[in-house]
Chains A and B, each alone.
Chain A
Amino acid sequence: DQQVKQNSPSLSVQEGRISILNCDYTNSMFDYFLWYKKYPAEGPTFLISISSIKDKNEDGRFTVFLNKSAKHLSLHIVPSQPGDSAVYFCAARTFTGNQFYFGTGTSLTVIP
């Protein structure tokens, strides 16, 4: 039962352009969402989060948008840099739960 879905396994973007990574979820009880970045042979690294009381959160080049009615969130990276090339996972958690549900990841390649 995949409660968090990332339907795009891969994405290629030119350096300097915007990268948009998408994530859909099915559980309306999710109230906290995170994005992680993972390089090969390393563990996932926290990138940015958003709670369900907000619809946008920014941190430098990274912005996460949450559309609760559509059960959809997206991560925008502007401008994209070659060092952003990695696998990006979105994750979600319910208010009372301790486990995070992860999507299957989107592999981003930023072309110089």
Chain B
Amino acid sequence: DAGVTQSPTHLIKTRGQQVTLRCSPKSGHDTVSWYQQALGQGPQFIFQYYEEEERQRGNFPDRFSGHQYPNYSSELNVNALLLGDSALYLCASSSPGSGEKLFFGSGTQLSVL
């Protein structure tokens, strides 16, 4: 049973560029959440997708957008990258049957130069 998979594992971009991160949820999970973890901080909620719609959004600018596909996989897009966007981006999946727990992938480490 594959867990949550994220790609790529590492990414280097320059300021102003755009980036797309991908996530496949754990088998049987229909909800995907994205979190940003800056160095020395805890994960910060970006948004959550359910039934291909953004269900809730955290305190992140519109430069951060996402998508969920019918197979429940998801993408996180960040436009006009800033140096401060450098962080570990974590995808988490869940479902009513998972008992409210989030199952995390290993993350994508994004460096913006």
Interface residues of A (CB under 8 A from B): 4, 6, 32, 34, 36, 41-46, 49, 89, 91, 93, 97-105
Contacts and interface: CB of A to CB of B under 8 A. Distances in A.
A50 B89 CA distance: 26
Given A34-B101, A43-B92, A43-B106, 16 more contacts: A4-B42, A36-B104, A41-B106, A43-B90, A44-B90, A44-B102, A44-B104, A46-B102, A99-B33, A99-B48, A100-B102, A101-B45, A102-B44, A103-B42, A104-B40, A105-B42
A41 B6 CA distance: 13
Contacts of B44: 102
B58 A46 contact: no
B103 A99 contact: no
B42 A104 contact: yes
B105 A43 contact: yes
Contacts, number: 54
27 contacts: A4-B42, A32-B100, A34-B101, A34-B102, A36-B104, A41-B106, A42-B106, A43-B4, A43-B92, A43-B107, A44-B43, A44-B102, A44-B104, A45-B104, A46-B101, A46-B103, A49-B99, A49-B100, A49-B101, A89-B43, A91-B42, A99-B33, A99-B56, A102-B42, A102-B44, A104-B40, A104-B41
Contacts of B43: 44, 89, 100, 102
